[in-house]
Chains A and B, each alone.
Chain A
Protein backbone atom coordinates (compact mmCIF):
# COMPACT_ATOMS: atom_id res chain seq x y z
CA UNK A 1 0.00 0.00 0.00
CA UNK A 2 1.38 3.32 -1.00
CA UNK A 3 1.90 5.81 1.77
CA UNK A 4 -0.44 8.78 1.52
CA UNK A 5 1.17 12.06 0.77
CA UNK A 6 0.46 14.36 3.78
CA UNK A 7 0.29 17.35 1.46
CA UNK A 8 -2.30 15.60 -0.68
CA UNK A 9 -4.35 14.71 2.40
CA UNK A 10 -4.26 18.33 3.54
CA UNK A 11 -5.44 19.50 0.13
CA UNK A 12 -8.25 16.93 0.12
CA UNK A 13 -9.37 17.91 3.62
CA UNK A 14 -9.28 21.57 2.66
CA UNK A 15 -11.37 20.87 -0.44
CA UNK A 16 -13.85 18.85 1.57
CA UNK A 17 -14.20 21.62 4.11
CA UNK A 18 -14.17 24.44 1.58
CA UNK A 19 -17.97 24.94 1.31
CA UNK A 20 -18.28 25.14 5.08
CA UNK A 21 -15.26 27.43 5.37
CA UNK A 22 -16.52 29.62 2.57
CA UNK A 23 -19.89 29.77 4.21
CA UNK A 24 -18.34 30.78 7.52
CA UNK A 25 -16.30 33.46 5.83
CA UNK A 26 -19.34 34.76 3.93
CA UNK A 27 -21.47 35.16 7.05
CA UNK A 28 -18.78 36.91 9.06
CA UNK A 29 -20.85 39.10 11.31
CA UNK A 30 -19.78 42.73 11.15
CA UNK A 31 -18.69 44.11 14.51
CA UNK A 32 -21.53 45.67 16.46
CA UNK A 33 -24.22 44.19 14.22
CA UNK A 34 -26.91 41.64 15.13
CA UNK A 35 -28.62 39.08 12.92
CA UNK A 36 -31.89 40.29 11.41
CA UNK A 37 -33.19 36.74 11.11
CA UNK A 38 -32.18 33.45 12.68
CA UNK A 39 -31.58 31.58 9.38
CA UNK A 40 -33.93 28.75 10.47
CA UNK A 41 -37.43 30.25 10.36
CA UNK A 42 -39.26 33.55 10.24
CA UNK A 43 -39.38 34.13 13.99
CA UNK A 44 -39.29 37.85 14.64
CA UNK A 45 -41.02 38.60 11.34
CA UNK A 46 -44.66 38.76 10.25
CA UNK A 47 -46.63 39.26 7.06
CA UNK A 48 -48.53 42.51 6.61
CA UNK A 49 -52.26 41.84 6.65
CA UNK A 50 -53.11 45.15 5.01
CA UNK A 51 -50.59 45.53 2.20
CA UNK A 52 -52.00 46.25 -1.25
CA UNK A 53 -49.42 43.80 -2.60
CA UNK A 54 -51.34 40.93 -1.04
CA UNK A 55 -51.68 39.32 2.36
CA UNK A 56 -50.92 35.62 1.78
CA UNK A 57 -47.49 35.54 0.08
CA UNK A 58 -45.24 32.50 -0.04
CA UNK A 59 -42.34 33.48 2.25
CA UNK A 60 -40.16 30.80 3.82
CA UNK A 61 -36.61 29.96 4.93
CA UNK A 62 -34.52 27.49 2.95
CA UNK A 63 -30.79 26.91 3.31
CA UNK A 64 -30.44 29.87 5.68
CA UNK A 65 -32.09 32.07 3.08
CA UNK A 66 -35.42 33.92 3.13
CA UNK A 67 -37.25 33.07 -0.10
CA UNK A 68 -39.89 35.55 -1.26
CA UNK A 69 -42.57 34.53 -3.74
CA UNK A 70 -46.24 34.97 -4.58
CA UNK A 71 -49.29 33.07 -3.37
CA UNK A 72 -51.83 32.56 -4.84
CA UNK A 73 -51.07 33.48 -8.45
CA UNK A 74 -50.76 37.24 -8.83
CA UNK A 75 -50.76 38.06 -5.11
CA UNK A 76 -47.55 39.22 -3.48
CA UNK A 77 -47.00 40.57 -0.01
CA UNK A 78 -44.69 42.20 2.48
CA UNK A 79 -42.63 40.47 5.18
CA UNK A 80 -41.95 42.81 8.10
CA UNK A 81 -39.71 42.68 11.13
CA UNK A 82 -41.70 42.77 14.36
CA UNK A 83 -39.27 45.36 15.63
CA UNK A 84 -39.18 48.98 14.49
CA UNK A 85 -35.89 50.68 13.69
CA UNK A 86 -35.08 54.37 13.63
CA UNK A 87 -31.43 55.02 12.73
CA UNK A 88 -29.67 51.94 11.46
CA UNK A 89 -27.21 50.34 9.09
CA UNK A 90 -28.35 47.18 7.36
CA UNK A 91 -26.13 44.65 5.60
CA UNK A 92 -28.02 42.11 3.50
CA UNK A 93 -27.25 39.86 0.55
CA UNK A 94 -29.83 39.54 -2.18
CA UNK A 95 -30.27 37.25 -5.16
CA UNK A 96 -33.14 38.11 -7.48
CA UNK A 97 -34.63 36.40 -10.48
CA UNK A 98 -35.14 38.68 -13.43
CA UNK A 99 -38.52 40.24 -14.20
CA UNK A 100 -39.53 40.23 -10.54
CA UNK A 101 -40.28 43.53 -8.87
CA UNK A 102 -39.43 43.49 -5.19
CA UNK A 103 -37.56 45.58 -2.73
CA UNK A 104 -36.31 46.28 0.76
CA UNK A 105 -38.60 48.54 2.79
CA UNK A 106 -37.09 51.00 5.23
CA UNK A 107 -39.03 52.33 8.24
CA UNK A 108 -42.10 50.57 6.90
CA UNK A 109 -45.54 51.02 8.39
CA UNK A 110 -47.69 47.99 9.14
CA UNK A 111 -49.39 48.30 5.75
CA UNK A 112 -46.12 48.76 3.88
CA UNK A 113 -45.74 52.49 3.33
CA UNK A 114 -41.99 52.92 3.21
CA UNK A 115 -38.84 54.28 1.65
CA UNK A 116 -37.84 51.43 -0.64
CA UNK A 117 -34.64 50.13 -2.19
CA UNK A 118 -35.98 48.79 -5.47
CA UNK A 119 -34.90 45.30 -6.54
CA UNK A 120 -35.84 44.71 -10.16
CA UNK A 121 -33.82 43.49 -13.13
CA UNK A 122 -34.57 44.92 -15.59
CA UNK A 123 -36.01 48.05 -14.03
CA UNK A 124 -34.92 50.60 -11.52
CA UNK A 125 -32.64 48.24 -9.63
CA UNK A 126 -30.98 49.93 -6.66
CA UNK A 127 -33.18 53.02 -6.85
CA UNK A 128 -34.73 54.74 -3.85
CA UNK A 129 -38.49 54.97 -4.32
CA UNK A 130 -41.54 55.40 -2.14
CA UNK A 131 -43.68 52.33 -1.66
CA UNK A 132 -47.37 53.19 -1.35
CA UNK A 133 -46.39 56.78 -0.58
CA UNK A 134 -44.69 59.66 -2.36
CA UNK A 135 -41.20 60.54 -1.25
CA UNK A 136 -39.65 63.95 -1.80
CA UNK A 137 -36.37 62.86 -3.30
CA UNK A 138 -35.90 59.52 -5.10
CA UNK A 139 -32.46 58.31 -6.15
CA UNK A 140 -31.11 56.29 -9.06
CA UNK A 141 -28.20 53.86 -8.84
CA UNK A 142 -26.14 55.13 -11.76
CA UNK A 143 -23.49 52.64 -12.78
CA UNK A 144 -25.11 49.74 -10.96
CA UNK A 145 -24.63 47.55 -14.04
CA UNK A 146 -20.85 47.71 -13.44
CA UNK A 147 -21.11 46.17 -9.98
CA UNK A 148 -24.30 44.08 -10.07
CA UNK A 149 -23.83 40.33 -10.46
CA UNK A 150 -26.87 39.22 -12.43
CA UNK A 151 -28.50 36.05 -11.15
CA UNK A 152 -26.03 35.86 -8.26
CA UNK A 153 -25.68 37.14 -4.71
CA UNK A 154 -25.11 40.86 -4.23
CA UNK A 155 -24.21 42.55 -0.95
CA UNK A 156 -26.20 45.64 -0.05
CA UNK A 157 -25.22 48.08 2.68
CA UNK A 158 -28.00 50.51 3.55
CA UNK A 159 -27.87 53.31 6.07
CA UNK A 160 -30.83 55.38 7.23
CA UNK A 161 -30.59 58.14 9.81
CA UNK A 162 -32.41 61.22 11.02
CA UNK A 163 -35.91 62.41 11.83
CA UNK A 164 -35.84 63.87 8.34
CA UNK A 165 -34.24 60.84 6.76
CA UNK A 166 -30.91 60.54 5.05
CA UNK A 167 -30.54 57.27 3.15
CA UNK A 168 -27.39 55.84 1.60
CA UNK A 169 -26.68 52.70 -0.44
CA UNK A 170 -23.57 50.68 -1.26
CA UNK A 171 -23.69 47.61 -3.53
CA UNK A 172 -20.87 45.05 -3.39
CA UNK A 173 -18.80 47.62 -1.53
CA UNK A 174 -19.32 50.37 -4.11
CA UNK A 175 -21.04 53.58 -3.07
CA UNK A 176 -24.20 54.18 -5.12
CA UNK A 177 -25.92 57.22 -3.63
CA UNK A 178 -26.77 59.19 -0.54
CA UNK A 179 -30.00 61.20 -0.38
CA UNK A 180 -30.93 63.79 2.20
CA UNK A 181 -34.69 64.15 2.11
CA UNK A 182 -35.99 67.73 2.43
CA UNK A 183 -38.71 66.52 4.78
CA UNK A 184 -40.08 63.47 6.54
CA UNK A 185 -42.51 61.98 4.01
CA UNK A 186 -44.33 59.63 6.37
CA UNK A 187 -47.94 60.06 7.37
CA UNK A 188 -47.99 61.40 10.92
CA UNK A 189 -44.22 62.00 10.66
CA UNK A 190 -43.10 58.56 11.78
CA UNK A 191 -39.39 58.40 12.65
CA UNK A 192 -39.11 54.64 13.05
CA UNK A 193 -40.51 51.64 11.25
CA UNK A 194 -39.98 48.06 10.22
CA UNK A 195 -37.59 46.49 7.74
CA UNK A 196 -39.63 44.86 4.99
CA UNK A 197 -39.14 42.48 2.06
CA UNK A 198 -41.60 42.64 -0.80
CA UNK A 199 -42.99 40.48 -3.55
CA UNK A 200 -45.08 42.57 -5.93
CA UNK A 201 -48.62 41.79 -6.99
CA UNK A 202 -49.09 40.98 -10.66
CA UNK A 203 -52.80 40.17 -11.09
CA UNK A 204 -56.05 41.47 -9.62
CA UNK A 205 -58.60 39.13 -8.06
CA UNK A 206 -60.63 39.20 -11.26
CA UNK A 207 -60.37 40.82 -14.67
CA UNK A 208 -61.75 44.31 -14.13
CA UNK A 209 -63.21 46.84 -16.56
CA UNK A 210 -60.85 49.80 -16.72
CA UNK A 211 -58.16 47.86 -14.88
CA UNK A 212 -54.89 46.40 -15.97
CA UNK A 213 -52.63 43.69 -14.66
CA UNK A 214 -48.89 43.58 -14.23
CA UNK A 215 -47.71 40.08 -15.12
CA UNK A 216 -44.29 41.54 -15.79
CA UNK A 217 -44.00 42.56 -12.15
CA UNK A 218 -43.50 38.96 -11.04
CA UNK A 219 -42.45 36.21 -13.43
CA UNK A 220 -44.41 33.05 -12.62
CA UNK A 221 -42.46 30.67 -10.40
CA UNK A 222 -39.64 33.15 -9.82
CA UNK A 223 -38.35 34.39 -6.46
CA UNK A 224 -36.21 36.85 -4.55
CA UNK A 225 -33.81 35.54 -1.92
CA UNK A 226 -32.17 37.21 1.07
CA UNK A 227 -29.41 35.99 3.40
CA UNK A 228 -26.71 37.20 5.78
CA UNK A 229 -28.85 40.04 7.06
CA UNK A 230 -27.27 42.04 9.87
CA UNK A 231 -28.39 45.29 11.39
CA UNK A 232 -26.81 47.82 13.71
CA UNK A 233 -28.86 50.47 15.41
CA UNK A 234 -27.12 53.82 15.37
CA UNK A 235 -27.28 56.43 18.10
Chain B
Protein backbone atom coordinates (compact mmCIF):
# COMPACT_ATOMS: atom_id res chain seq x y z
CA UNK B 1 0.00 0.00 0.00
CA UNK B 2 1.42 3.34 -1.03
CA UNK B 3 1.68 6.10 1.54
CA UNK B 4 -1.11 8.25 0.13
CA UNK B 5 -3.41 5.22 -0.02
CA UNK B 6 -2.60 4.48 3.62
CA UNK B 7 -3.46 8.07 4.49
CA UNK B 8 -6.78 7.77 2.66
CA UNK B 9 -7.70 4.53 4.41
CA UNK B 10 -6.69 5.99 7.78
CA UNK B 11 -8.82 9.07 7.11
CA UNK B 12 -11.74 6.88 6.11
CA UNK B 13 -11.32 4.74 9.22
CA UNK B 14 -11.41 7.79 11.49
CA UNK B 15 -14.50 9.05 9.64
CA UNK B 16 -15.97 5.61 9.94
CA UNK B 17 -15.34 5.35 13.65
CA UNK B 18 -16.79 8.80 14.29
CA UNK B 19 -19.81 7.85 12.24
CA UNK B 20 -20.19 4.65 14.17
CA UNK B 21 -20.53 6.38 17.53
CA UNK B 22 -24.28 6.20 17.20
CA UNK B 23 -25.58 3.67 19.78
CA UNK B 24 -25.73 0.20 18.39
CA UNK B 25 -23.83 1.02 15.25
CA UNK B 26 -21.27 -1.40 13.95
CA UNK B 27 -18.44 -0.04 11.90
CA UNK B 28 -16.58 -2.06 9.37
CA UNK B 29 -13.80 0.18 8.24
CA UNK B 30 -11.90 -1.75 5.65
CA UNK B 31 -12.41 -3.63 2.50
CA UNK B 32 -15.25 -6.07 2.24
CA UNK B 33 -15.96 -8.37 -0.67
CA UNK B 34 -13.67 -6.81 -3.20
CA UNK B 35 -14.19 -3.16 -2.42
CA UNK B 36 -11.76 -0.83 -0.76
CA UNK B 37 -14.55 1.56 0.18
CA UNK B 38 -15.40 1.67 3.88
CA UNK B 39 -18.73 0.28 4.98
CA UNK B 40 -20.79 1.18 8.03
CA UNK B 41 -23.90 -0.47 9.43
CA UNK B 42 -26.62 1.32 11.37
CA UNK B 43 -28.68 -0.05 14.24
CA UNK B 44 -31.33 -1.62 12.07
CA UNK B 45 -28.75 -3.40 9.92
CA UNK B 46 -28.61 -1.08 6.92
CA UNK B 47 -25.11 -1.00 5.39
CA UNK B 48 -23.65 2.05 3.68
CA UNK B 49 -20.60 2.44 1.46
CA UNK B 50 -18.49 5.59 1.48
CA UNK B 51 -18.59 7.40 -1.87
CA UNK B 52 -16.02 10.13 -2.48
CA UNK B 53 -16.92 13.34 -4.27
CA UNK B 54 -16.04 13.52 -7.96
CA UNK B 55 -17.47 14.19 -11.39
CA UNK B 56 -18.92 12.27 -14.33
CA UNK B 57 -20.81 12.79 -17.59
CA UNK B 58 -24.59 12.44 -17.85
CA UNK B 59 -26.58 11.76 -21.02
CA UNK B 60 -23.89 11.09 -23.63
CA UNK B 61 -26.09 9.61 -26.38
CA UNK B 62 -24.51 8.07 -29.47
CA UNK B 63 -26.88 5.41 -30.83
CA UNK B 64 -25.12 3.00 -33.18
CA UNK B 65 -26.47 2.91 -36.73
CA UNK B 66 -26.23 0.07 -39.27
CA UNK B 67 -23.88 0.07 -42.21
CA UNK B 68 -24.14 -2.09 -45.34
CA UNK B 69 -22.62 -5.51 -44.73
CA UNK B 70 -20.41 -5.20 -47.77
CA UNK B 71 -18.71 -2.21 -46.20
CA UNK B 72 -17.78 -4.15 -43.07
CA UNK B 73 -14.28 -5.54 -43.31
CA UNK B 74 -14.28 -9.32 -43.08
CA UNK B 75 -18.07 -9.65 -43.19
CA UNK B 76 -18.94 -13.13 -44.48
CA UNK B 77 -22.68 -12.78 -44.83
CA UNK B 78 -25.41 -10.20 -44.64
CA UNK B 79 -26.52 -9.36 -41.13
CA UNK B 80 -29.59 -11.22 -39.97
CA UNK B 81 -33.11 -9.89 -39.67
CA UNK B 82 -32.62 -7.97 -36.49
CA UNK B 83 -29.17 -6.73 -37.37
CA UNK B 84 -30.07 -4.78 -40.49
CA UNK B 85 -29.48 -7.07 -43.42
CA UNK B 86 -29.75 -6.15 -47.06
CA UNK B 87 -33.33 -5.02 -46.63
CA UNK B 88 -32.11 -1.48 -46.27
CA UNK B 89 -31.71 0.56 -49.40
CA UNK B 90 -28.69 2.79 -49.72
CA UNK B 91 -30.84 5.79 -48.85
CA UNK B 92 -32.18 4.05 -45.72
CA UNK B 93 -28.68 3.29 -44.48
CA UNK B 94 -27.89 6.96 -45.04
CA UNK B 95 -31.07 8.01 -43.23
CA UNK B 96 -30.20 5.84 -40.22
CA UNK B 97 -26.82 7.55 -40.01
CA UNK B 98 -28.39 10.99 -40.42
CA UNK B 99 -30.99 10.35 -37.70
CA UNK B 100 -28.42 8.88 -35.33
CA UNK B 101 -26.08 11.82 -35.78
CA UNK B 102 -28.96 14.31 -35.55
CA UNK B 103 -30.05 12.89 -32.20
CA UNK B 104 -26.59 12.27 -30.72
CA UNK B 105 -25.51 14.45 -27.85
CA UNK B 106 -22.37 14.80 -25.79
CA UNK B 107 -24.11 15.10 -22.44
CA UNK B 108 -22.80 17.31 -19.66
CA UNK B 109 -20.43 17.02 -16.72
CA UNK B 110 -21.91 16.77 -13.24
CA UNK B 111 -19.83 17.46 -10.14
CA UNK B 112 -20.68 15.59 -6.96
CA UNK B 113 -19.30 18.10 -4.48
CA UNK B 114 -19.68 16.24 -1.19
CA UNK B 115 -18.84 12.74 -0.06
CA UNK B 116 -21.81 10.62 0.92
CA UNK B 117 -22.61 7.13 2.14
CA UNK B 118 -24.73 5.13 -0.28
CA UNK B 119 -26.94 2.23 0.75
CA UNK B 120 -24.97 -0.89 -0.08
CA UNK B 121 -28.20 -2.72 -0.86
CA UNK B 122 -31.76 -1.85 -1.73
CA UNK B 123 -33.86 -1.36 1.41
CA UNK B 124 -35.06 -4.82 2.44
CA UNK B 125 -38.45 -5.87 3.70
CA UNK B 126 -36.91 -6.64 7.10
CA UNK B 127 -35.53 -3.13 7.35
CA UNK B 128 -38.81 -1.62 6.19
CA UNK B 129 -40.73 -3.51 8.86
CA UNK B 130 -38.30 -2.40 11.59
CA UNK B 131 -38.75 1.23 10.62
CA UNK B 132 -42.32 1.41 9.34
CA UNK B 133 -44.19 -1.63 10.65
CA UNK B 134 -46.52 -3.07 7.99
CA UNK B 135 -44.90 -4.55 4.90
CA UNK B 136 -46.47 -3.38 1.60
CA UNK B 137 -44.54 -5.80 -0.63
CA UNK B 138 -46.15 -8.06 -3.21
CA UNK B 139 -43.47 -10.73 -2.84
CA UNK B 140 -43.91 -11.26 0.87
CA UNK B 141 -43.91 -14.34 3.07
CA UNK B 142 -41.84 -16.28 5.56
CA UNK B 143 -38.63 -16.11 3.51
CA UNK B 144 -38.97 -12.55 2.30
CA UNK B 145 -36.97 -10.57 4.86
CA UNK B 146 -33.96 -10.13 2.57
CA UNK B 147 -36.02 -9.35 -0.51
CA UNK B 148 -36.12 -5.67 -1.41
CA UNK B 149 -39.21 -3.86 -0.22
CA UNK B 150 -41.42 -2.99 -3.20
CA UNK B 151 -44.87 -1.67 -3.95
CA UNK B 152 -43.82 1.62 -2.37
CA UNK B 153 -44.58 5.04 -3.79
CA UNK B 154 -42.08 7.91 -3.76
CA UNK B 155 -44.03 9.37 -0.83
CA UNK B 156 -43.74 6.02 1.00
CA UNK B 157 -39.97 6.07 0.47
CA UNK B 158 -39.80 9.61 1.83
CA UNK B 159 -41.85 8.55 4.86
CA UNK B 160 -39.30 5.80 5.50
CA UNK B 161 -36.47 8.32 5.28
CA UNK B 162 -38.23 10.70 7.68
CA UNK B 163 -38.77 7.92 10.21
CA UNK B 164 -35.16 6.78 9.87
CA UNK B 165 -33.98 10.31 10.61
CA UNK B 166 -36.08 10.28 13.78
CA UNK B 167 -34.42 7.03 14.85
CA UNK B 168 -30.87 8.19 14.12
CA UNK B 169 -30.02 11.80 14.82
CA UNK B 170 -26.32 11.33 14.08
CA UNK B 171 -26.78 11.18 10.32
CA UNK B 172 -28.92 12.84 7.71
CA UNK B 173 -30.64 10.18 5.63
CA UNK B 174 -32.33 10.99 2.32
CA UNK B 175 -33.09 9.57 -1.11
CA UNK B 176 -30.19 9.99 -3.52
CA UNK B 177 -30.50 12.59 -6.24
CA UNK B 178 -30.55 11.10 -9.71
CA UNK B 179 -26.98 12.29 -10.27
CA UNK B 180 -25.75 10.81 -6.99
CA UNK B 181 -27.47 7.54 -7.90
CA UNK B 182 -25.91 7.37 -11.37
CA UNK B 183 -22.50 8.45 -10.09
CA UNK B 184 -22.58 5.63 -7.53
CA UNK B 185 -23.96 3.12 -10.05
CA UNK B 186 -21.23 3.91 -12.56
CA UNK B 187 -18.53 3.57 -9.90
CA UNK B 188 -16.07 5.30 -12.20
CA UNK B 189 -17.29 3.83 -15.50
CA UNK B 190 -17.36 6.50 -18.22
CA UNK B 191 -19.34 4.54 -20.83
CA UNK B 192 -22.61 2.75 -20.25
CA UNK B 193 -22.39 -0.77 -18.84
CA UNK B 194 -21.27 -3.62 -21.16
CA UNK B 195 -23.94 -6.28 -21.57
CA UNK B 196 -21.65 -8.99 -20.21
CA UNK B 197 -21.26 -6.96 -17.02
CA UNK B 198 -25.00 -6.35 -16.66
CA UNK B 199 -25.70 -10.06 -16.59
CA UNK B 200 -23.22 -10.56 -13.74
CA UNK B 201 -24.46 -7.73 -11.57
CA UNK B 202 -28.21 -7.53 -12.15
CA UNK B 203 -31.25 -9.72 -11.47
CA UNK B 204 -33.02 -9.43 -14.87
CA UNK B 205 -35.52 -11.25 -17.07
CA UNK B 206 -37.12 -12.92 -14.07
CA UNK B 207 -40.62 -13.18 -12.64
CA UNK B 208 -39.83 -12.04 -9.11
CA UNK B 209 -37.38 -10.19 -6.89
CA UNK B 210 -34.45 -11.99 -5.26
CA UNK B 211 -32.69 -11.41 -1.93
CA UNK B 212 -30.45 -8.37 -2.13
CA UNK B 213 -26.71 -8.90 -2.68
CA UNK B 214 -26.88 -12.14 -4.67
CA UNK B 215 -25.09 -10.77 -7.73
CA UNK B 216 -21.62 -9.23 -8.04
CA UNK B 217 -21.22 -5.71 -6.63
CA UNK B 218 -20.06 -2.84 -8.77
CA UNK B 219 -16.53 -1.44 -8.55
CA UNK B 220 -17.39 0.57 -5.44
CA UNK B 221 -19.04 -2.34 -3.63
CA UNK B 222 -22.70 -1.49 -4.26
CA UNK B 223 -25.13 -4.31 -5.02
CA UNK B 224 -28.16 -4.46 -7.29
CA UNK B 225 -27.85 -0.93 -8.62
CA UNK B 226 -29.26 -2.47 -11.81
CA UNK B 227 -32.16 -4.91 -11.85
CA UNK B 228 -34.17 -6.45 -8.99
CA UNK B 229 -36.30 -3.34 -8.28
CA UNK B 230 -36.50 0.12 -9.81
CA UNK B 231 -35.18 2.66 -7.32
CA UNK B 232 -36.83 5.97 -6.51
CA UNK B 233 -34.56 8.99 -6.49
CA UNK B 234 -35.37 12.44 -5.18
CA UNK B 235 -35.88 14.26 -8.50
CA UNK B 236 -39.01 15.07 -10.46
CA UNK B 237 -39.23 13.40 -13.88
CA UNK B 238 -38.84 15.74 -16.86
CA UNK B 239 -40.57 13.48 -19.47
CA UNK B 240 -37.33 13.44 -21.49
CA UNK B 241 -34.90 10.69 -22.38
CA UNK B 242 -32.27 11.96 -19.91
CA UNK B 243 -32.09 14.34 -16.98
CA UNK B 244 -31.63 18.05 -17.50
CA UNK B 245 -28.64 19.77 -16.02
CA UNK B 246 -30.88 21.43 -13.45
CA UNK B 247 -33.41 19.35 -11.57
CA UNK B 248 -37.04 20.42 -11.95
CA UNK B 249 -38.76 22.09 -9.01
CA UNK B 250 -42.16 20.65 -9.90
CA UNK B 251 -43.40 17.63 -11.76
CA UNK B 252 -46.07 15.00 -12.06
CA UNK B 253 -43.99 11.99 -11.02
CA UNK B 254 -40.48 11.22 -9.82
CA UNK B 255 -37.53 9.54 -11.47
CA UNK B 256 -36.90 5.80 -11.33
CA UNK B 257 -33.43 4.39 -11.99
CA UNK B 258 -31.83 1.02 -12.60
CA UNK B 259 -34.72 -1.09 -14.01
CA UNK B 260 -36.11 -4.17 -12.30
CA UNK B 261 -36.29 -7.96 -12.49
CA UNK B 262 -38.57 -7.63 -15.53
CA UNK B 263 -36.01 -5.39 -17.22
CA UNK B 264 -33.34 -6.51 -19.62
CA UNK B 265 -29.95 -5.45 -20.93
CA UNK B 266 -31.61 -2.65 -22.90
CA UNK B 267 -32.85 -0.67 -19.92
CA UNK B 268 -30.89 -2.02 -16.96
CA UNK B 269 -28.15 0.51 -17.60
CA UNK B 270 -26.64 3.45 -15.77
CA UNK B 271 -28.21 5.86 -18.22
CA UNK B 272 -31.85 4.81 -18.22
CA UNK B 273 -33.92 7.72 -16.93
CA UNK B 274 -37.44 6.50 -16.20
CA UNK B 275 -40.44 7.86 -14.36
CA UNK B 276 -43.10 6.60 -11.99
CA UNK B 277 -45.37 4.97 -11.21
CA UNK B 278 -43.97 1.76 -12.73
CA UNK B 279 -45.56 -1.58 -11.97
CA UNK B 280 -45.61 -1.26 -8.18
CA UNK B 281 -44.39 -4.79 -7.52
CA UNK B 282 -40.97 -3.95 -8.96
CA UNK B 283 -40.46 -0.49 -7.46
CA UNK B 284 -38.31 0.02 -4.36
CA UNK B 285 -35.47 2.31 -3.30
CA UNK B 286 -32.22 2.72 -1.43
CA UNK B 287 -31.15 5.57 0.80
CA UNK B 288 -27.92 7.45 1.41
CA UNK B 289 -26.74 9.46 4.37
CA UNK B 290 -24.56 12.48 4.88
CA UNK B 291 -22.74 13.39 8.04
CA UNK B 292 -24.58 16.02 10.01
Contacts and interface: CB of A to CB of B under 8 A. Distances in A.
Q: Do A and B bind each other?
A: yes
A158 B279 CA distance: 25
A204 B82 contact: no
A6 interface: no
Interface in A20-58: 49-56
A54 to B, nearest CB: 8
A52 B264 contact: yes
Interface stretch (A83-91, A140-148, A160-168, A210-218): A210-218
Given A52-B263, A73-B65, A74-B63, A216 B81 contact: yes
- Among the interface residues A50, A75, A217, which one has the most CB atoms of the partner chain B within 10 A? A50
Nearest to A98: B87
A209 B191 CA distance: 10
Contacts of A132: 262, 264
Interface stretch (A11-19, A109-117, A223-231): A109-117
Contacts of B267: 50-52
- Among the interface residues B83, B92, B96, B240, which one has the most CB atoms of the partner chain A within 10 A? B96
B100 interface: yes
A117 B258 CA distance: 28
Contacts of A122: 81
A99 interface: yes
A4 interface: no
Contacts of A207: 62, 64
B156 to A, nearest CB: 17
A129 interface: no
A205 B65 CA distance: 11
A196 to B, nearest CB: 13
A113 B275 contact: no
Given A122-B81, A215-B84, A52 B192 contact: no
B292 to A, nearest CB: 34
Given A56-B241, A111-B279, A216 B63 contact: no
Nearest to A221: B95
Nearest to B139: A188
A66 B167 CA distance: 52
B96 A110 contact: no
A212 B61 contact: no
B274 A211 contact: no
Given A52-B266, A208-B195, A217-B82, A110 B279 contact: yes
Given A205-B269, A216-B83, A72 B279 contact: no
Interface size class of B (residues with CB under 8 A): 35 or more
Interface in A62-90: 72-75
B208 A187 contact: yes
B262 A113 contact: yes
A74 B63 CA distance: 7
The secondary structure that dominates the A interface is loop
A188 B195 contact: no
B165 to A, nearest CB: 29
Contacts of B280: 110
Contacts of B289: none
Given A205-B269, A208-B195, A55 B87 contact: no
A50 B237 CA distance: 12
Contacts of B256: 49-50
B240 to A, nearest CB: 6
A105 interface: no
Given A111-B260, A187-B282, 20 more contacts: A56-B241, A110-B278, A111-B278, A113-B262, A123-B81, A187-B207, A204-B269, A205-B271, A206-B192, A210-B196, A213-B66, A215-B82, A215-B88, A215-B96, A216-B81, A216-B84, A216-B85, A217-B82, A219-B87, A219-B88
14 contacts: A49-B275, A50-B279, A55-B241, A56-B241, A74-B65, A74-B100, A204-B63, A206-B63, A206-B271, A209-B195, A210-B196, A213-B83, A216-B81, A220-B92
Interface of B: 60-66, 79-85, 87-88, 92, 95-96, 99-100, 102-103, 138, 191-197, 207-208, 230, 237, 239-241, 253, 256, 259-260, 262-267, 269, 271, 273-282
5 A-B pairs with the lowest CB-CB distances in the bound complex, closest first:
A72-B103, A49-B275, A215-B84, A203-B63, A215-B66
